[in-house]
Structure 1
Amino acid sequence: MSSSRLALWLGALAVTGAAVVGFAAPGPPAQARAGRTLDWVAVKKADTEPRTVTLGASWVTYLELHEARNGKPGRMIGDGSARCGAVLVTKEGPVTQCQRVLRLHDGSLALSAMIDRFGSGPYTGSSAVVGGTGIYATAAGDAEITLDGDLVRFRIHLDG
């Protein structure tokens, strides 16, 4: 993990006040190779998003990452974080930009997205896979992210 990513990660934990005690990352996910589609579900464990999102508001989220089983959390495969900000607020709702890092035992994936959060949700949007570490070091592709309460669904398509 680069020192800047480590600093971002540690900063996110400090801001949320989250403490991860005794986290042991399980083995690699079933689908980790390039040219594959990864179906993962994350569960929010810490979140500083304000109840009412205003222009310029920012927040961080800590996630437990799981393989998806029928759209629900299955086997835990790692953790993740998101750093988000409201770049526009309309009468329909906010437009948010988020940088996400999904950390697994054998590498991390970095995602970047802008998602409209109009109405009551769930909210779905596209994300770019902007890089990774470990077995994901050359990762590129795209993802569909669905925000549904305390669940975040990731359908990640890695270029082959």
Structure 2
Amino acid sequence: MGLTGWHDGPLVRAALPKSDHLHGMTGQGSGESGASREPGGSMISSAVRGVVTTTALTTACVLLPASVALADAGDEDIEKVTVTGVTVAENRPDDRAAGDSWTTYMRLYTPKGKRAGDGTSQCTAVKVTAGKRVVQCTRVLRLKRGSLILADLITHKGRATVTAKTAILGGTGHYNDAEGQGTVTVRRDRIRFSLAVDD
């Protein structure tokens, strides 16, 4: 029986008067309303059913927030990195053709304008048409606590500001096990990096 071993516990005693408790466990109930006979001959009162149901619901409600909290705990490993690169030197050709490559060196700054490090971009034009260029870049951001390695594919239309996704391929130092993604926003001689680093 599912309730075997419960008859001396506080749960059943709180739900039934003493006489009903004894009759219910021995199968000699008086047949009063609120009780039903289970297979095997024992009597379980509706009060016990109510207590069991309430206990099950309470347990479910207590466990749910714990599971949600456990799922949210994974987000604690995400580190937001936001820096802006200002071009210092670049050997990019004026008239780019597919296959042309160039390197850009930049200084990195925090959103508050403080120096954050420096970085390098190595880019190659993979497709060039009238008014549009598709450029593939690999970037290394050298920050105070380590370096981040990025890769992205950007479609430029004239001189318009463009935002594209970038992948975090790895890193060194504090970021030695880094992965994740973010965005790069290119505006003339500046590049804004907004990254969600999973380390």
**Fold conserved (TM > 0.5)?**
yes
Structure 1 residue identity aligned to 2:84: V
Residue 112 (1) aligns with residue 151 (2): yes
SS at 2:92 equivalent:
coil
Aligned positions of 1:29-108 closer than 5 A: 34-69=77-112, 74-108=113-147
Distance of 2:79 and 2:111 partners within structure 1 = 15
Structure 1 residue identity aligned to 2:106: L
Q: Give the CA RMSD over aligned residues.
A: 1.4
TM-score (norm 2): 0.59
Residue 140 (1) aligns with residue 179 (2): yes
Structure 1 residue identity aligned to 2:80: T
Q: CA deviation at 1:92?
A: 3.4
SS at 1:135 equivalent:
helix
Q: Which runs of 5+ in 1 are unaligned?
A: 1-32
User: Could you say which residue in structure 2 is the equivalent of 1:22?
Assistant: none
Q: CA deviation at 1:120?
A: 2.1
Q: Which runs of 5+ in 2 are unaligned?
A: 1-75
Contact 1:34-1:139 within 8 A present in 2 as well: no
Distance of 1:79 and 1:96 partners within structure 2 = 21
CA distances 1:32-87 after superposition (whole Å, capped 9, x unpaired): x9402211101000011111221111000001011123xxxx10010000000001
Contact 2:165-2:182 within 8 A present in 1 as well: yes
CA distances 1:2-25 after superposition (whole Å, capped 9, x unpaired): xxxxxxxxxxxxxxxxxxxxxxxx
SS at 1:68 equivalent:
coil
Distance of 2:146 and 2:111 partners within structure 1 = 18
User: Could you say which residue in structure 1 is the equivalent of 2:21?
Assistant: none
SS at 1:131 equivalent:
strand
User: For this pair of structures, how many residues does the alignment match?
Assistant: 124
Distance of 1:121 and 1:136 partners within structure 2 = 32
Contact 2:98-2:127 within 8 A present in 1 as well: yes
Higher strand share: 1
Q: CA deviation at 1:127?
A: 0.6
CA distances 1:87-138 after superposition (whole Å, capped 9, x unpaired): 1112231100000000012210000011001232112111100000000001
TM-score (norm 1): 0.73
Distance of 1:77 and 1:47 partners within structure 2 = 20
